[in-house]
Structure 1
Amino acid sequence: MSERLLGNVALVTGGGQGIGRAIAEAFAREGAKVGVLDIKQEFAEKGAEAVIAAGGEAVALTGNVANRDDVFAAADALKQAFGSITILVNNAMWNRYGPLEEQSEATIGRMIDVGFKGVIWGYQAVLPQMRDAGHGVIINIASPSAVLAMKNGVMYSSVKAAVAAATRSGAAEFGAMNIRVNAIAPGPTQTDGANLVLDEQAWERRRQRVPIGRLGQPEDMANTAVFLASGDASFITGEMILVDGGITYAFS
C-alpha cells in the first residue's frame, strides 16, 4: 500500500462490481477509506470485502442513486463511519441500447435518473462535506459516446454528454471551494457485466478497432482515477480523459 490518498474518504457509486469495484480497491491500496454504494446489498458487501482484502477500510452502503434521499443517506452514513467525504466517484449507470423509437418512457426515465440525476444528487450530497474538509475531488464516469455519434445509442450518448457538461460546469462552480471535477471516458472495457452480453467474437471485433491492440480492463480506469484523485493532478479540473486505447480519435 502506498499513501497517495492517505487521509481521504471516498464514496464510489456502483462500487460493487466492474469499474467501480476496481476503483474502490485501487483507492484502498493508496490509503483511502472507502464507502461502496450499490443498489444491491450483496454487491455492496462484496465490494467492501474486496477493499478490505486490498488492505483498506470500507463500509458497504445500499441505495439507488436515482433516489436523492438514498444518496444523501449513504453520504451521511459514510461520514459517520470515517469522517467527511473528500473523494466522490459517480460511476453508477443503467443502460439499454436500441432504436430510440422503440425505447419506452420507463427505460428512458431510468437511464436519466441513474446516469445523470445520480451524478447531481452525488454532487449535492458531498459538497457540504468537502467544503468543511477544505478540499475535494469528484470523478465522473463518462464515455467517448459523449462526443461521438452512436447508432442505437441516442439516450446513452445524451446522458453521457450531460455528464461531461456537468463535469465542466461543476469544475467552474466548485473550484472556489478547492474542489476539482474531472471525468474518465472508458473505451471498450472487459467487465463481468459486459461479458454477460458480449461473446468472444464481439470482443474480438472491438479489440481489432483499438489502435494499441488490446481491450481495456477495469484496472486501467482505476489507475486513472487514482491519478485524478491524487495531488499529482492538483492543477487538472474540468477535463474528460479518454482512456480508450486511442479508439475515439482513430475512428472519429
Structure 2
Amino acid sequence: MLEVRSSKTPATLRTSHVELRASPCHELVGRVALVTGASRGLGAAMAKALADAGASVILWAKHLERLKRVERAIRAVGRPALSQRVDVTDRRAVRRAVTAALRRFHRIDILVNNAGIWDGDPFVRLAPATWARVLETDLTSLVSVSQAVVPSMMRRRDGTVINISSTSGLLVHPEGAAYGAAKAAVIHLTRIMAVELGPSGIRVNAIAPGTFRTDMTADVFADRAWISRRRRRIPLRRFGEPDDLDGLVVFLASRASDYLTGQTLVIDGGASLVS
C-alpha cells in the first residue's frame, strides 16, 4: 500500500496533490528504468516519479537539452540518470542506444514506451505521409524499442514493460484517425506481448490517459470554449496533470503489481464512463 506521510525521504513520491512514501513493495531501489519521450510532459513526469521511487533512469528523446534538464532534476534527488538523444523511429539508433545503456547500467528492468505524436486531420483529408509518420512513431517504434530491450529481460527472467496508449484507443474521437488507430493497436499489442512474454517472467501493461495538460495538447487548451465543454464531461471536473500518473507508473513498475499483466489501466477522471 502507498502510505501518506508528512516527512520527506528519498523514497518519497512528490506530487502537487499529496506526498506518498513508497512502501517496500513499491520501492524501485536497484532497478533501472528506460523511458522514451522523456524530455517533457508525461514522459518527464514518469521518469521523475520512477527516480523518486528509487530507480536509476535512462532518458530518451530527440531534444538533448530538454533531456538534460530532466536528468538534472533526477540527479538532484540522488538517483543516477543517463540522457540519450534517440529517434525511436530509427531502428539502428535504438539498438545502439540500448547497447550503450546496458554497458552503463548492466540491466534494464523497466521499459516505459511513451514516445508519441498526435494528428488532428479528418479521415477524408488524412495524408498518407501523416498516417505513416504517426503509425511509425506511436506504434512501430514501440515494437522496435521493445524488441531491443526485452531480450536482456528474458535472459534474467524478470522485467516489466509499460506501454502508453490513450483513451483515444478505446473511444472514438473524430479528427485523429491515425493517432486513435495507433493507440488502439498499442492496447491489443500489449495483450499479445503479455501472453508471449509472461512465461519469461516479463509483465506487460498499458496506461490509457485521458485529457492531460501537456505540450502536445497546448493547442486544444488554448480554446476556452472547448475547455468549458470538455471539463463538464469529466466526472472529477478537472483535467489530468502530468504528475497524476506518478503513482500509477510506479505501481506498474514495482513488485506491487507482480500478478498484473496484459491490462490497460484508464486514467481519465472518469470521462470514459460517460462518453
Matching residue of 1:166: 189
- In 2, the alpha carbon distance for the partners of 1:60 and 1:204 equals 38
Amino acid at match of 1:151: P
CA distance in structure 1 between the partners assigned to 2:243 and 2:168 by the alignment? 21
More moved, 156-165 vs 213-222: 213-222
Q: Note the C-alpha offset of 1:198.
A: 2.1
**2:60 alignment partner in structure 1:** 37
Q: Which moved more, 1:65-74 or 1:230-239?
A: 65-74
Q: Does 1:249 align with 2:273?
A: yes
CA deviation profile, 1:8-33 (whole Å, cap 9, x unmatched):
11110000100000000001011111
1:72 CA displacement: 1.5
SS at match of 1:56: coil
Partner of 1:203: 227
Secondary structure, in 3 states, of the residue corresponding to 1:78?
helix
SS at match of 1:210: coil
Q: Secondary structure at the match of 1:97?
A: coil
Deviates more, 1:237-246 or 1:45-54: 45-54
Structure 1 residues 204-223: aligned runs within 5 Å: 204-223=228-247
Question: In structure 2, what is the equivalent of residue 144 of structure 1?
Answer: 167
* Maintained 8 Å contact 1:184/1:221: no
**Equivalent AA in structure 2 for residue 225 of structure 1:** V
Listed one character per residue, the Cα deviations across residues 176-212 of structure 1 (whole Å, up to 9, x for unaligned) are: 1100000000011112332255216133332221101
Is the partner of 2:221 in helix, strand or coil?
A: coil
Report the counterpart of residue 92 of structure 1 in structure 2: 115
Q: Name the SS for the 1:211 alignment partner.
A: coil
What is the RMSD computed on CA atoms of the aligned residues? 1.4
The runs of 5 or more residues in structure 2 that have no matched partner are 1-9, 12-23
Listed as ranges, the matches of 1:182-193 within 5 Å are: 182-193=205-216
- The SS at the match of 1:14 is coil
Deviations 1:210-245, CA, capped at 9 Å, x for gaps: 101111111112221100011111110000000001
- Number of residue-to-residue matches in the alignment: 251
* Identity between Structure 1 and Structure 2 (%): 37
For residues 13-65 of structure 1, give each alpha carbon's deviation from its aligned partner in whole angstroms, at most 9, with x where no partner exists: 00010000000000101111100000122222222222212332100011111
Q: 1: distance between equivalents of 2:81 and 2:102?
A: 12
SS at match of 1:10: strand
Aligned partners of 2:70, 2:269: CA distance in 1, in Å?
Answer: 27
Alignment of 1:17-166 (within 5 A): 17-166=40-189
Q: Distance in 2 between matches of 1:117 and 1:50?
A: 30
Bigger Cα Rg: 2
Alignment equivalent of 2:256, drawn from 232, 247, 250: 232
Q: After alignment, is 37-46 or 198-207 more displaced?
A: 198-207
The TM-score, its normalising length taken from structure 2, stands at 0.87
Structure 2 CA distance for aligned equivalents of residues 8 and 16 of structure 1: 21
Aligned partner letter, 1:239? Q
